[in-house]
Structures are given as structure tokens and as C-alpha cells.
Amino acid sequence: MKNLLIVDDNDKYARILDDYYRELGYSIDRALDGEGGYNAVKEKGLEHYQVIVTDITMETQMAGITMLKRLYKDGFRGMVVVASTGFDVPLARPLTRLFFSGIGIDYLVPKTTVLSGKLEFFPMALFGKPLKDFREIEASYKIA
């Protein structure tokens, strides 16, 4: 079974992401904030989730970045996809990639693509071309 954790305080985005990944065969858990996401991973074990899809800015004590830093410090080695509105503007994408490149994020997904239902996955490599099908990513990471 493929397990995925969605960490997002926005029900609309979380529902779209849930539908997208369920169609790909994932079992989905959801947390409303970074603290809930951190606790879910710690409860189920660091190896349980192959993928975490998180927002970065949430209106809570622990946002996505803090959660990720703590999980990596604890030994999480799964894939991280960030779905965020902060880099939806083309000029902001390279800056966002540079900013997030050192903290273990694998792909960025503009939330405008989530809303449209046509997700685009931007790899952290500065000039990497976006992928439009998560199955391509799964194949390269050997997620079965």
C-alpha cells in the first residue's frame, strides 16, 4: 500500500489533492497543521508515509517548514511535495526553488495548478522542467 500524508489547513486544496492521489492508489491521511503532520508521522512511524504533501504557510503554531525540519532531524527519508501559493508567479519560482533547495523538499506544486486539477510538479533543480503526471515521479523514486 502506498501511504501519503496531506498537511494543509485549507479544506478545498486538501480535498483536491486527496482526490488526485487516491486515483493513483494512495491511502491518504490528513493533518490540519504542521504539528498534526509531525504527530501523524511519529505515531505511524518514519517509514509509513512514502510521500508528504504539505503547505508551507498555515495559520498555526507549527507551519510546514518547521514540521519538515523536525521530521528530517528525526530521520524521515520519504518524498516531500510542497503545494503552496507562494510561488505561483513565474518570477518567484526560481527564488522559491533556491530557498527550499537545502531543506529536503523534492517538488513544488503551485496551488493554481491544484485548483485547476492539472497539477504541475516543479523539481528542485533550478532549471528542471515541470512534470504533469505524478506517476513519472513515482517511477523514478520506485514507489510501488
Q: Nearest to residue 104, comparing CAs of 126, 77, 131, 84? A: 77
Q: Nearest to residue 85, comparing CAs of 62, 101, 108? A: 108
Which of 56-65, 82-91, 98-107, 118-127 bottoms out in mean pLDDT, i.e. has the lowest?
Answer: 82-91
- Distance from C-alpha of 78 to C-alpha of 54, rounded to nearest angstrom: 13
Q: Say which residues have a Cβ less than 8 Å from residue 1's Cβ, sequence separation at least 6.
A: 27
Q: Which residue has the higher pLDDT, 6 or 108?
A: 6
> What's 116's domain CATH number?
3.40.50.2300
Q: Confidence class of residue 17 from pLDDT cuts 50, 70 and 90?
A: very high
Which of 12-21, 61-70, 82-91 bottoms out in mean pLDDT, i.e. has the lowest?
Answer: 82-91
Average pLDDT over residues 80-104: 74
The residue written with cell numbers 504539528 in the block is 35
Q: Confidence class of residue 97 from pLDDT cuts 50, 70 and 90?
A: confident
- Distance from C-alpha of 117 to C-alpha of 84, rounded to nearest angstrom: 14
Task: Give CA separation, 70 vs 66, 73, 119, in Å.
Answer: 6, 5, 27
Q: Nearest to residue 115, comparing CAs of 1, 9, 11, 13? A: 13
Tally of domains in the chain = 1
**pLDDT tens for residues 37-51?**
999 999 999 999 999
Q: Which residue has the higher pLDDT, 125 or 8?
A: 8
Q: Look at strands 26-31 and 51-54 and give their pairing.
A: unpaired
- Distance from C-alpha of 22 to C-alpha of 29, rounded to nearest angstrom: 11
Backbone angles phi, psi at 7, to 5 degrees: -120, 105
Residue 144: what pLDDT? Answer: 67
Residue 6: what pLDDT? Answer: 97
Range of the domain at 70: 2-141
Q: Say which residues have a Cβ less than 8 Å from residue 73's Cβ, sequence separation at least 6.
A: none
Say if residue 88's pLDDT is above 70: no
